[in-house]
Structure 1
């Protein structure tokens, strides 16, 4: 009898020990245990942001409290009405400001731009762990964009990985994929970035494309390892789809179209000012004369798109105060989710699950049909976002139109029409402009962005528009190299219209390199070595 008891006890202990890794894997990321500055600091946070204590609104959310937040808040409440109270001095006493890593890095413009980027990878690499502030800890190394962007960013990282692939940094790619998998497993999705204030939204779903890069390096079988995580990410984007009806056609990120098909939109669950842009959002809401929650929701949804901000989201095509992101079916988002469905089908095939493979193929086929129906405008011969409130395409031309070509969803005739418009209207001396609208917003003309150059170039190649793809590549690489040799910097974005000017909108301090700019440039040069990998001396000889 005693032996049986001991056996039962041992079995119980064994199963408890099995559960420990899962418990501790999830435990650190439970939202209530994480530092949420906008929540934990209450009116202190609000006053620091509204009184413009720091020039950059992101500084304070990234600062680390030196005492438990409730103690700091209590001290603030006790001292704030005292004579001579200084808010900035109080903050500096109770918080450690975000660190600026001392790299000792010095740009050498006599080097080629590829040599410069190769030197930058270690500088932009961060070790696992957390700083005790709003940073969500990650288990492995990762690359940050740089400068004020001190954390990992979701869609940025895919384009950074292209450069890591060109550098043959396979293990770093693996580490970054594992970090994103960790975020899916512990938070239920991939947040905008690994900060607690980003948890309520994601970014364009590029995780499946990251897995493709890893599979190129390590073999297609690697896809099955990450199938559960991709299924979970897909569930996040499709949450509530099974409950939609004609009378209740929207829920979070899913929208039921008039014909019953399901497409997606960008969304954020918290209709509040963004902590990292708190003052700016509050001021915009006041100026707009709209319901503040409506403004905050649409601002945050645009932040989830990565295009923050662009007139593609504005009702009047000019003013941020008319933003209406949640009323639109973005052509790029739905093309990405088509690729997710196709990848899930392939994963199921690899797992030998034919029924599941057929399910996802059917979903992908239905989505493609819906995109070609709703996002394609026959009269304009172009892909646009679809306004499901007004019942028509927005007819605001943007580079988002290349996504159906990137994923080979467009018909040949449609692809030819898109290519023709890119060449006629979007192609500029420095590459492709993001939109045709000059608004002062950073995701509009005259700016060009590395991720959209990459998507456009590959989209054109898919349909054999190679001459135009080569032209875009050459103009973009030349622009990047010229700015590097003139300034020693690789920029977040470029003015591709006026070659003598830098880009405008959303200004941040320049840095030696920017994550996705580094990645796309290095990848393009690796694919087209004839295109320019020049040192300063060679450039001067050419000129």
Structure 2
């Protein structure tokens, strides 16, 4: 047996630990580090498991080191939230040589979100970088951009996080925004330096495009629309339960006639970063109607529009006019396709598009704000979106994520730092400064109030009843917390 086999490949030990809920959080076991080779551990398990008095928990603790939790508990209560965050950067920093188990080593230090999330996460990191920029920690920003480029060069893409069990999927593609952020600090020549990585990232998202035709409209992340335009969806190469949420996935798919299809939709939902939201459900109140891979997400395609423009700009700086024009044309075509398929004329709002049903979805979410942030919307469309944000999404603590309360963590009443940022800056781009400032100040106040009560900054917040904690999802709310820290510092610098 291969001694380096992953924990989630240790059958039947892995299934037993997860299904018997040895750990309350399924992510704990796959983040453990074996004390001896996994092959030896499995042999010992097979020898001992049927003996009288066998204790599964004791066996696991005997043969595995538990993962380190990156918590804020070690930070002394500070006089201000700003000082608290400045201290947290050190707490949440992971050294490059800390590898083992399922962790994929990175060459440079990086900042993790916190709590159960002790590894780097793709889209989280951009919003963390905003705070690092506000803190003047430019070296860490560059370290993290270098790490993501390293992942692109070694794996051909940026995985959900630097764990082996995430190798089937990526996350919202914010790499081009990270490179632009670094370029704002160090100069535009940075775009040329990272052009090969940007191109390789684009190749990953567009892989399979040449296989698209009228009979084969979807391959991997790419989908051919009815008019021949190509847009993107979220995708995971595997159709098995997620190792880090094995029990939850098995239980949800138990009565499903096609469990592999369910697992694919669940994994694609995790790739979206919105795990989970009713925007992925056929019935907003039924988790088991999830059909993520049937959906063209408006936010994903706005991000890829930015990637295309960034590659074009890098080519121009590198005096490669033909290549630059090619990418600008691709970006223009994508922008028009987003307008054609994701602008919901009935709702006067950007929504996702169900390409299987050939119709827009009806769930209004803050994904629409990406069309403002990247200036895809017309002036008239921006006005309509702004009216909806003002009248339906704006609450005492900021913006709710969707208009539905479903028990999923990416729905009402929860608000999330990255979506506040994309919405606020998107509104600024269209001149809605007063509304942007109102949202920002309400979010800042909520973050500060919860910090005053608890001494912590949270992963997400209840923006409807600001005295209650946010809830929903597959795990308890986490504190730390990378993107909350980053967005809060950036907003305070801009508005407070």
TM-score by length of 2: 0.97
Query: Which of 427, 430, 436 matches 1:460?
Result: 427
What residue is the counterpart of 1:367 in the other structure?
A: 334
List aligned pairs for 1:198-217, cutoff 5 A: 198-217=166-185
Alignment of 1:93 onto 2:62: yes
List aligned pairs for 1:182-261, cutoff 5 A: 182-261=150-229
Q: Distance in 2 between matches of 1:101 and 1:425?
A: 36
For 2:12, what is the secondary structure of its paired residue? helix
Q: Any conservation in 2 of the 1:113–1:484 contact (CA below 8 Å)?
A: yes
Larger CA Rg, structure 1 vs 2 = 1
Q: Distance in 2 between matches of 1:51 and 1:376?
A: 46
Change (3 A) 1:384 1:510: closer
Deviations 1:438-494 (A, max 9, x none): 001000000000000000001101100111101101111011011111111111111
What residue is the counterpart of 1:48 in the other structure?
A: 17
Q: Any conservation in 1 of the 2:4–2:39 contact (CA below 8 Å)?
A: no
Query: Which of 38, 53, 57 matches 2:8?
Result: 38
Alignment of 1:478 onto 2:448: no
Query: Which of 224, 233, 253 matches 1:285?
Result: 253
Alignment of 1:274 onto 2:242: yes
Deviations 1:321-366 (A, max 9, x none): 1100000000000000000000000011111111100110010000
For 1:164, what is the secondary structure of its paired residue? helix
List aligned pairs for 1:113-192, cutoff 5 A: 113-192=81-160
Q: Any conservation in 1 of the 2:407–2:473 contact (CA below 8 Å)?
A: no
Which range is displaced more, 372-381 or 302-311?
372-381
Q: Any conservation in 2 of the 1:374–1:386 contact (CA below 8 Å)?
A: yes
What residue is the counterpart of 2:277 in the other structure?
A: 310
**Deviation of 1:131 (Å):** 3.3
Deviations 1:61-102 (A, max 9, x none): 001111211111112112212222221111111111112469
Q: Distance in 2 between matches of 1:510 and 1:403?
A: 25
Which range is displaced more, 272-281 or 122-131?
122-131
- Structure 1 residue runs without a partner (length 5+): 1-31, 532-543
Which range is displaced more, 499-508 or 59-68?
499-508
Query: Which of 49, 53, 57 matches 1:84?
Result: 53
For 2:231, what is the secondary structure of its paired residue? strand
Q: Distance in 1 between matches of 2:462 and 2:71?
A: 30
**Deviation of 1:290 (Å):** 3.1
Deviations 1:201-232 (A, max 9, x none): 00000000000110011001111111101100
Q: Any conservation in 1 of the 2:108–2:147 contact (CA below 8 Å)?
A: yes
Q: Any conservation in 2 of the 1:147–1:509 contact (CA below 8 Å)?
A: no
For 1:458, what is the secondary structure of its paired residue? helix
Alignment of 1:61 onto 2:35: no
Alignment of 1:403 onto 2:370: yes
**Deviation of 1:502 (Å):** 1.1
Equivalent residues, number: 495
Query: Which of 414, 420, 445 matches 1:447?
Result: 414
What residue is the counterpart of 1:70 in the other structure?
A: 39
Q: Distance in 2 between matches of 1:265 and 1:102?
A: 34
For 1:280, what is the secondary structure of its paired residue? helix
Q: Distance in 1 between matches of 2:474 and 2:70?
A: 21
Q: Distance in 2 between matches of 1:45 and 1:510?
A: 25
Change (3 A) 1:484 1:103: closer
For 1:122, what is the secondary structure of its paired residue? helix
**Deviation of 1:130 (Å):** 3.6
**Deviation of 1:33 (Å):** 9.7
Q: Any conservation in 2 of the 1:406–1:459 contact (CA below 8 Å)?
A: yes
For 1:84, what is the secondary structure of its paired residue? coil
What residue is the counterpart of 1:537 in the other structure?
A: none
Q: Any conservation in 1 of the 2:72–2:456 contact (CA below 8 Å)?
A: no
Q: Distance in 2 between matches of 1:104 and 1:256?
A: 49
Q: Distance in 1 between matches of 2:144 and 2:102?
A: 20
TM-score by length of 1: 0.89
Q: Distance in 1 between matches of 2:249 and 2:71?
A: 32
Q: Distance in 1 between matches of 2:11 and 2:153?
A: 29
Q: Distance in 2 between matches of 1:103 and 1:246?
A: 53
Q: Distance in 2 between matches of 1:367 and 1:386?
A: 14
Change (3 A) 1:311 1:163: same
Query: Which of 489, 497, 500 matches 2:467?
Result: 500
Change (3 A) 1:137 1:33: farther
- Structure 2 residue runs without a partner (length 5+): none
Q: Any conservation in 2 of the 1:495–1:501 contact (CA below 8 Å)?
A: yes
Q: Distance in 2 between matches of 1:291 and 1:522?
A: 46
